[in-house]
Every structure is written in C-alpha cells, then in structure tokens.
Amino acid sequence: MLTTLTEENYLKAIYHISQSSKAGVSTNAIAKKVDAKASSVTDMLKKLADKDLITYIKYKGVNLTERGRLTAIDIVRKHRLWEVFLVDKLNFSWDEVHDVAEQLEHIKSQKLINELDAFLDFPTHDPHGDPIPDKHGQIQRTEKIILSKAMVGMTYTCVGVIDSSSNFLKYLDKHQIGLGTEIQVVDKEDFDQSMTFIIHDKTMVMSKPITSNIYVKKL
C-alpha cells in the first residue's frame, strides 16, 4: 500500500510519541509533533484509519496497527541510515543531517535502502545514538540513563541525545561532547539540580535542561 509523504510523517510522529507512552497517543500530542491544527490532525487520522494504519477512538487516542507500526519503523530505519551515510560518507556534521534525512526517508525503493544498509556495514545506531531497525524491524536496544540521573562519583560514557536540534548539538560540539565521550560526575546541586563534571580533563557545569537531554551508560 502506497502512503503519501504527509501520511508517513504522521505515522512516524505517532510511533515516536508512543515510545514514551503506554496509553493511546493524543491528537494534541500529534498536532504539536507535526505542527498542525487539531482539525487537520483529525482529518488525517481518519485517512490513516481507513487504510488500516491506525486505530482511532475519540477521547481515547491513537494506536498504530501492526501494518502502521511496520510502516513507521521502516521510515525511521531509512531516516537513521541516511543520517549515518551523510555523516560517515559525505562529511556532514551531526547537527546538519536531520533535515536532509527528513527528505531522503520518503524514498520508496527497498532495494536501495537494503543496499545502503550493507554499504554502511549494517550500523546499529545513528550519529545521535538512536537505534536503527534492521530490515526485519528488529531494534538493538542500549542500556542507558539520562545524565541528570547519574550518580556522583561515577564515570559514564555518552551514548545518545534526546534533543537532536541543531542548537543543542552545536552546544555539545562546542564543549567537545559526542558519542563515546567519558563524563565523570563530580557534584550535583540540590537547589537547581545543576551538575559538575570532568570532561576531557576539564571541569564543566551543566544545567538540568542540558543534562536531561543526554543519554549515558555507566562504564
């Protein structure tokens, strides 16, 4: 079944929102994610339901059907593979790739995507640390926590980000923080939850909005 670019964007948005919610996805959450009016969202949800891509019960939210879930995962797979390609092969920085990958993710050719996957040697994570589904839709998860929940005195390594906006990634680049960077937790303030770290042998203080957007795992 062919899907339009807009339909694919909605399916991807519903998939991403559903990863952090066990209940049905609300229309308001979808509207915010895709930057659309509630009335436009309602119209699109009816179209997706007619194609058996979602189930939609008024006031109870939206859930992906199995067909919708597989379609969404395929879009996510393409997006993240293109991000790897842009960074590894075309020298894009990790703060430049999202918008370009947003365009490339709608290419329909499965042969192209499977060959791209093989060409990249079957990567499991994109440049932001997000897992890449394989061609069967399987995802390799990484044990991780948000940096704001890290324990004082422990050392961690950066494995991903929540905020993949250009501004946030440029902030991390400015302070030489990327995937694989070791972060030693020195102190945490009770007042504002800001934290002190040693990174690259330098002391650095980060606010909670920053530490709440970085994924780490314990060394």
Could you say which of 64, 80, 107 is where a domain stops? Answer: 64
In-domain check, residue 52: yes
User: Residues 217, 159: contact at Cβ < 8 Å?
Assistant: yes
| Between residues 60 and 203, the one the model is more confident about | 203
In-domain check, residue 28: yes
Mean pLDDT for 170-189 is 97
Task: Indicate if the pLDDT at residue 183 is higher than 80.
Answer: yes
In-domain check, residue 210: yes
Q: Which of 69-73, 137-141, 185-189, 205-209 has the lowest mean pLDDT?
A: 137-141
Could you say which of 13, 42, 64 is where a domain stops? Answer: 64
In-domain check, residue 105: no
In-domain check, residue 209: yes
pLDDT digits (tens, 9 = 90+) for 7-62: 999 999 999 999 887 788 999 999 999 999 988 999 999 999 999 999 988 778 89
In-domain check, residue 87: no
Whichever domain contains 52, its CATH number is: 1.10.10.10
In-domain check, residue 181: yes
Domain that holds residue 171: 145-218
Whichever domain contains 210, its CATH number is: 2.30.30.90
Task: Indicate if the pLDDT at residue 172 is higher than 90.
Answer: yes
In-domain check, residue 92: no
Mean pLDDT for 161-165 is 94
Could you say which of 64, 82, 97 is where a domain stops? Answer: 64
Question: How far, CA to CA in Å, does 48 sit from each of 2, 18, 112, 197?
Answer: 12, 16, 26, 47
Instruction: Quote the number of domains for the chain.
Output: 2
